[in-house]
Amino acid sequence: MFVDAHMSEFDLIKQYFTRPTHHTDLGVGDDAALLSIPAGHQLAISADMLVSGTHFFADADPYQLGWKSLAVNISDMAAMGAQPRWATLAIALPDINESWLAEFSRGFFACAEEFNLDLIGGDTTRGPLTISVQIMGEVPTGKALKRAGAKVGDEIWVSGCLGDAALALAHMLGKFSLSAAEFASCAKALHTPQPRVALGLALRGLANSCIDISDGLLADLGHILECSKTGAEINLTSIPHSFVVSNYFSTKAVQQMVLAGGDDYELCFTAPVAAHAGIERVSEELVLPLRVVGHITNSLGLIVRGLNDEILDFKETGFDHFA
């Protein structure tokens, strides 16, 4: 419940968070939303919360924040091979700032439209700026891509480029200095990530396991290994990165961003060698680079080979002393 002199909670929800829906039986405005899942499908559900000061700067651009708060959730659907369908939005606002709300909602709905997703409900309250989205998608029963499922001998693939978001963040924190053009290029990855939904859907039946890279390749690949009870060997030189990252790839700090930087929202997946040609066709169809960065092994743990094929010295979780 939110009481304010300028605008009621009801008016706020109506103005900023109510849009026509496309595949929902009953959307915003009742005590609960109603939706129907097609026969033969499972509902995939996930939630991600963004807290001011922890996940974004308090003065973050509201349009980008609206986009990103939905995009990071859609990315979880992509990683499951699920078609994103519905979302709810629980938001705590310190005050009613209408120009902020207008931009936040424009960014949120731009992302919703891009991925054909209905906002079907939520909650609005006063409090420190916090954005919590729950997302729901559908996937044919038994066809979801899980973290468990990687097999010894699988190739490990990564979509797009890694490291841009971490490099942009380092620049904003004054830890790294980029030219204006370089920053503009990297900042897109940080502020308006593009969840790989089409890729996730195309990988059903091809990939053995899949995860989205939100916490860095090593950490997220580590989840696949743990769930699949396997190990892996990857090569730093094979990891795809942008021209901006390649400008600085000789520095250890940037190598670490590629391996362990967060916020990329690309997919990391494993697939048998027999699926290699099929995955290359997917790459061409989607006009999305997909690269093999290593393979799954039967010795537990993750080995990373550096620029000269040397084994990099870090523990599976202790990326910090890699810098």
Q: CB under 5 A: which stretch of 14-22, 116-124, 154-162, 275-283 binds Mg ion?
A: 116-124
Residue 69 or 159: which CB sits closer to ligand ADP? 69
Q: In the bound complex, what is the minimum distance in angstroms from residue 191's beta carbon to ligand ADP?
A: 21
CA atoms of 261 and 215, how far apart (whole Å): 7
| 123 near Mg ion, judged by CB under 5 A | yes
User: Which of 123, 215, 233, 316 is close enough to bind ligand ADP by CB under 6 A?
Assistant: 123
Q: In the bound complex, what is the minimum distance in angstroms from residue 125's beta carbon to Mg ion?
A: 8
Q: In the bound complex, what is the minimum distance in angstroms from residue 45's beta carbon to Mg ion?
A: 19
| 102 near ligand ADP, judged by CB under 6 A | no
| 66 near ligand ADP, judged by CB under 6 A | no
| 89 near ligand ADP, judged by CB under 6 A | yes
| 122 near ligand ADP, judged by CB under 6 A | yes
# of chain residues touching ligand ADP (CB under 6 A): 13
| 31 near ligand ADP, judged by CB under 6 A | yes
Q: CB under 6 A: which stretch of 24-32, 219-227, 251-259, 282-290 binds ligand ADP?
A: 24-32
Q: In the bound complex, what is the minimum distance in angstroms from residue 206's beta carbon to ligand ADP?
A: 36
At residue 47, what are phi and psi to the nearest 5 degrees? Answer: -135, 145
Q: CB under 5 A: which stretch of 57-65, 122-130, 147-155, 235-243 binds Mg ion?
A: 122-130
# of chain residues touching Mg ion (CB under 5 A): 1
Residue 13 or 70: which CB sits closer to ligand ADP? 13
User: Which of 17, 100, 157, 314 is close enough to bind ligand ADP by CB under 6 A?
Assistant: 17
Residue 123 or 233: which CB sits closer to ligand ADP? 123
Calculate the alpha carbon distances from 104 to 8, 60, 98, 131 in Å. 18, 10, 10, 11
122 binds, among Mg ion, ligand ADP, none (CB under 5 to 8 A by kind): ligand ADP
CA atoms of 6 and 94, how far apart (whole Å): 14
Residue 30 or 309: which CB sits closer to ligand ADP? 30
Closest residue to ligand ADP, based on beta-carbon distance:
121
Residue 207's nearest CA partner among 271, 266, 297, 153 is 271
**Residues at the interface with ligand ADP (CB under 6 A):** 13, 17, 28-31, 89, 91, 119, 121-124
Residues that bind Mg ion (CB under 5 A): 123
